[in-house]
Amino acid sequence: MTKEKKVIIGSRGSKLALIQTNWVISELKRLNPKVEFQIEKISTKGDKITDAPLSRLGGVGLFTKELEVALIKGKIDIAVHSAKDVPTEIHEGLIIGATPKREDPHDVLISSNNASLEKLPDNARIGTSSLRRKAQLLAFRSDFKILDLRGNLDTRLKKLETDDMDAIVVAHAGLLRMNYTGQISQIIPFDIMLPAVGQGSLCIEIRKDDARIEKIVSGINDSQTRVAVEAERSLLAKLQGGCQTPIGAYAQTQGKEICLEAIICTLDGDHAIRDKHSGPVKQAVKIGEELAQRLLENGGKRILHEIRQEFQGRIDHI
């Protein structure tokens, strides 16, 4: 019996990325016991530049491009991404081969005295690298002082102690995957903070013409997660959003229906456009596009235009 060709899986080198990739490998091995899998660690631009806010770096694919290049060149067979990092437009030679079952998409607060958002002191200093989180935090309490926070999860947790912060906000999914849940002060409800598009989900990217790999990864696809993330990504694509735009969204399926809720905020949190839309699961992409159009017509277009002008001005002065 001929031995199957080894499958090379590309992953970022961070602790969380490797935990996620090793989980993917364990699931793939369970379903494909005769296949040998090997991890190839690849560093991305977002990993290399850690002293600037993501919103200042501009561009798309900060945590995915180098993995996609390796995939296109045939150096790896599979790329494992956090879905929230994957641009809404991917290379024409690549496809999303699978979207595994989603981990909890909420954001969480970790505070130095285990206080909730409501009970943090006046003018509390909160660390986050996300404009989406910043805007929604300020919408909830305008007295918060938001500090830029970059680095992997371990680094951010250390900075809570070393950088004179009262709290930090991170994704619940990462803490769950790293078994760090004992440090959580509050799981932030969606009515205060909607997550990033795809938050809590993994995205398994493969070459479009690779039928063998497509068959191997298809077994770990979760159909409910996939349509939910497709709805969120279609909304983001219509809004032309990225790390420079405070956009939150979350879709969930209920039987044959899907409900999508989204928000667009000004950077200072003073103004937000929030709405929801639902319909048949098979129209997930259309629902995302229609909700995006409603948000744009109800004031989102003006907010996004002002934000893009502001960031263009900042980039021009770098």
Q: Is 23 within 8 Å of 31 (Cβ atoms)?
A: no
| Amino acid at site 104 | D
For residue 202, report the phi and psi dihedrals to the nearest 5 degrees.
-105, 155
2: DSSP letter: P
Catalytic-residue membership of 268: no
Residue 260's H or E segment, with its range, is strand 257-265
* Helices and strands, counts by H and E, the chain: 11, 13
SS3 107: strand
HSE-CB for 220 with a 13 A CA cutoff: 27
The Cα–Cα gap between 177 and 162 comes to: 24
CB 220 within 8 A of CB 23: no
Catalytic residue among 47, 51, 77, 85: 85
Q: Which residues are catalytic?
A: 85
